[in-house]
């Protein structure tokens, strides 16, 4: 999907566009205790549709412990976002948190993380093709 098309997708969901383009933590602070739920919803939406989060993902990654208090599901959504971005370190960090580590989805995350590692270690198909 080209960048111009991404803007069109975000325009279909103005709330995602408002949160992500550009991401502004001071604007988000105005939502008080509801900011975690707003971020969780936005992360879920962007994960499902493969949309960019711009600066939201790194900010959520850094503040997940405080956001977890008001929206515990944000850890799972962050782990999913991390898998989509190839960020194995973040997935591992979320799996160390007792609530997620003991959840029913922990095994799926561990399996997905293993697949991610194998995929990242394997040489690309282009490098295995014989040269003519």
For 87-102, write each residue's pLDDT tens digit. Answer: 999 999 999 999 899 8
Residue 32 zone, left/alpha/beta (φ > 0; ψ -120 to 50; rest): left
Domain of 111?
A: 3-122
Do residues 68 and 74 touch, judged by C-beta distance below 8 A? Answer: yes
Task: Determine, yes or no, domain membership for 127.
Answer: no
Element (H, E) at 90: helix 88-95
pLDDT in tens, 37-80: 999 999 999 999 988 999 999 999 999 999 999 999 999 999 99
Count how many domains the chain has. 1
Task: Determine, yes or no, domain membership for 131.
Answer: no
Do residues 115 and 88 touch, judged by C-beta distance below 8 A? Answer: no
Predicted confidence (pLDDT) at residue 7 exceeds the cutoff of 60: no
């Amino acid at each position: 999907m080209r960048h111009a098309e991404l803007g069109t997708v975000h325009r279909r969901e103005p709330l995602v566009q408002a949160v992500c383009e550009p991401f502004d933590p001071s604007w988000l602070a105005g939502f008080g205790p509801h900011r975690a739920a707003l971020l969780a919803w936005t992360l879920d939406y962007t994960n499902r549709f493969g949309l960019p989060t711009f600066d939201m993902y790194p900010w959520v990654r850094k503040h997940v412990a405080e956001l977890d208090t008001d929206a515990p599901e944000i850890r799972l959504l962050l782990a999913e976002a991390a898998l989509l971005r190839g960020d194995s370190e973040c997935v591992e960090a979320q799996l160390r948190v007792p609530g997620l580590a003991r959840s029913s989805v922990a095994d799926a995350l561990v399996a997905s993380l293993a697949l991610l590692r194998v995929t990242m270690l394997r040489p690309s198909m282009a490098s295995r093709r014989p040269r003519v």
